[in-house]
């Protein structure tokens, strides 16, 4: 969800030191700096100065890369992805050679021919086959060609308060695996009294629709389906009703969601940090936020796979190349992406830097994003254990299911879709007599209007 990009604080990725030799062989002055014969590339992804640790690490990496690749000159630009200015920057010749994207962006970028085809160029990269295939697929076009590389990802899981689980007589090492178990656990936690809430969910500022999407995915449903060249709403069905009925029953029958509703992320995080909340849906990067911003303790939290596990909302980030970039710039850009983000030989050094900087290590999040498979994933996990400064076993239930649950990205025009679905979540959580069938039908019409705009 783009409105929740606090996760950018932890968006640096485990990287490696294998040097890829890139020879700048272009003839024109536009391809190379006339002075030194270097291939100059512009890149996005430099953290803002308000994130001094991450900025320092990034800038040091640029300097080290340039010393190892004297034929390449990097010009870093602060910032990430702004869909509102992307097309105009490209048209005006201002788009960087290597640019950051969210997982929701590649499909439309590829359809609009706004990214370079790197299918052949990546064949020289040594670890592409070690990246999880579903993440690579997110950067492939309908033609099967590759237009970018993933560098980090997240999926939604169940974040829970281990201390409250223990207090309520629940086993914190055996978190709920189904929504029925969530409901049972939420009731026991809310029965502790003193304002304790068993389970909380979002319902405003597009975040309600975002979480409703997660609910649908967990039950094996979806918010939208592609029908030929068009998209249609796909939640006014049994799975949509099941999700809302669970919420309704926890809210009104069990009274395990508390009376205060119309919540968003900061409200729920504040409750969890204060020890007043048992569970909510979240990605792993919520844990450092709870500790750093809401006075929580790493040892008090656990993370499990999303309940029912028939699917989960997948998000993340990666990099694509300017379609106007020369072959030399593409080679140089891929050398940078590979060295900084996709090279296991630097796992140890990179993670140690975070540990030495008193940053959390041991979570299923940065600086060890779960993008790998096979031996490389095992290698990264070993490094994580080596430098862990938080109780990584608290999050093992999430890791055990991470590659078993099908991940799906956000629907097209996600923010507009979520805005339409907010009202459904609000109705169910604030009106005991809300007509769920009517709410779903009304939202279906609104979402179909939004999806009709997808080109």
Other CB atoms within 10 A of residue 45 CB: 26
Q: What is the pLDDT of residues 212-252, one digit of tens each?
A: 999 999 999 999 998 888 999 999 999 999 999 999 999 99
How does residue 308 score in pLDDT terms, banded at 50, 70 and 90? very high
State the average pLDDT over residues 61-85.
90
Position 197 scores a pLDDT of: 98
Position 7 scores a pLDDT of: 40
State the average pLDDT over residues 106-117.
91
Structure-block tokens of residue 76 = 């870093």
Q: Is the pLDDT of residue 331 over 60?
A: yes
Q: Is the pLDDT of residue 8 over 70?
A: no
Least trusted range by pLDDT, from 86-100, 248-262, 274-288, 346-360: 86-100
- Per cent of the chain over pLDDT 90 is 76
CA distance 15 to 35: 31
Least trusted range by pLDDT, from 79-88, 156-165, 269-278, 342-351: 79-88
Torsion sign across C-alpha atoms 349, 155, 185, 202: positive
Least trusted range by pLDDT, from 113-122, 216-225, 234-243, 358-367: 358-367
Position 102 scores a pLDDT of: 87
Backbone φ and ψ of 11, nearest 5°: -90, 0
Position 83 scores a pLDDT of: 67
Q: What is the pLDDT of residues 181-210, one digit of tens each?
A: 999 999 999 999 999 999 999 999 999 999
Least trusted range by pLDDT, from 81-85, 208-212, 241-245, 444-448: 81-85
Q: Is the pLDDT of residue 136 over 80?
A: yes
Position 36 scores a pLDDT of: 63
How does residue 415 score in pLDDT terms, banded at 50, 70 and 90? confident
Position 154 scores a pLDDT of: 86
State the average pLDDT over residues 448-452.
95
Other CB atoms within 10 A of residue 375 CB: 10
Position 21 scores a pLDDT of: 35
Q: Is the pLDDT of residue 6 over 50?
A: no
Q: pTM for the complete prediction?
A: 0.83
Other CB atoms within 10 A of residue 348 CB: 18
Helix 374-387 / helix 347-356 crossing angle, nearest 10 deg = 30
Q: Is the pLDDT of residue 13 over 50?
A: no
State the average pLDDT over residues 313-329.
94
Structure-block tokens of residue 350 = 């990179």
Closest to 157 in 3D by CA, of 364, 421, 361, 296: 364
Least trusted range by pLDDT, from 99-108, 138-147, 195-204, 445-454: 99-108
CA distance 334 to 343: 12
Three-class secondary structure of residue 82 per DSSP: coil
Position 409 scores a pLDDT of: 86
Q: What is the pLDDT of residues 379-399, one digit of tens each?
A: 999 999 999 999 989 998 998
- Per cent of the chain over pLDDT 70 is 92
């Amino acid at each position: 969800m783009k409105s929740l990009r606090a996760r950018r604080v932890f968006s640096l990725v485990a990287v490696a030191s294998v040097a890829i030799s890139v020879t700048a062989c272009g003839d024109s002055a536009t391809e190379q700096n006339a002075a030194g014969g270097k291939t100059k590339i512009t890149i996005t992804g430099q953290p803002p100065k308000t994130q001094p640790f991450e900025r320092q690490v990034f800038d040091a990496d640029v300097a080290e890369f340039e010393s190892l690749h004297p034929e390449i000159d990097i010009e870093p630009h602060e910032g990430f992805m702004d869909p509102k200015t992307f097309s105009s920057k490209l048209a005006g010749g201002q788009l960087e050679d290597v640019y950051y994207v969210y997982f929701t962006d590649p499909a439309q970028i590829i359809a609009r021919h706004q990214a370079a085809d790197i299918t052949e160029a990546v064949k020289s990269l040594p670890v592409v086959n070690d990246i999880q295939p579903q993440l690579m697929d997110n950067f492939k076009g309908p033609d099967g060609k590759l237009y970018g590389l993933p560098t980090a990802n997240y999926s939604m899981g169940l974040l829970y308060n281990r201390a409250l689980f223990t207090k309520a007589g629940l086993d914190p090492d055996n978190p709920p695996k189904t929504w029925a178990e969530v409901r049972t656990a939420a009731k026991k936690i809310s029965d502790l009294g003193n304002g304790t809430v068993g389970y909380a969910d979002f319902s405003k500022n597009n975040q309600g629709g975002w979480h409703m999407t997660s609910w649908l995915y967990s039950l094996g449903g979806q918010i939208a389906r592609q029908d030929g060249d068009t998209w249609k709403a796909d939640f006014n069905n049994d799975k949509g009703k099941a999700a809302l009925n669970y919420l309704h029953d926890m809210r009104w029958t069990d009274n395990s969601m508390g009376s205060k509703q119309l919540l968003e992320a900061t409200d729920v995080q504040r409750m969890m940090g204060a020890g007043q909340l048992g569970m909510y849906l979240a990605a792993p990067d919520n844990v450092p936020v709870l500790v750093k911003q809401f006075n929580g303790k790493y040892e008090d939290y656990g993370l499990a796979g999303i309940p029912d596990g028939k699917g989960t909302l997948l998000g993340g980030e990666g990099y694509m190349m300017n379609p106007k970039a020369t072959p030399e710039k593409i080679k140089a850009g891929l050398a940078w992406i590979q060295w900084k983000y996709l090279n296991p030989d630097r796992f140890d050094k990179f993670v140690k830097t975070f540990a030495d900087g008193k940053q959390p290590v041991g979570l299923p999040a940065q600086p060890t994003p779960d993008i790998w498979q096979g031996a490389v994933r095992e290698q990264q996990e070993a490094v994580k254990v080596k430098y862990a400064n938080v109780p990584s076993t608290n999050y093992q239930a999430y890791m055990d299911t991470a590659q078993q649950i099908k991940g799906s990205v956000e629907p097209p025009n996600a923010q507009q879709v979520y805005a339409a679905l907010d009202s459904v979540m609000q109705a169910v959580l604030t009106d005991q007599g809300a007509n769920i069938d009517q709410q779903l039908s009304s939202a279906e019409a609104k979402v179909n209007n939004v999806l009709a705009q997808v080109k």
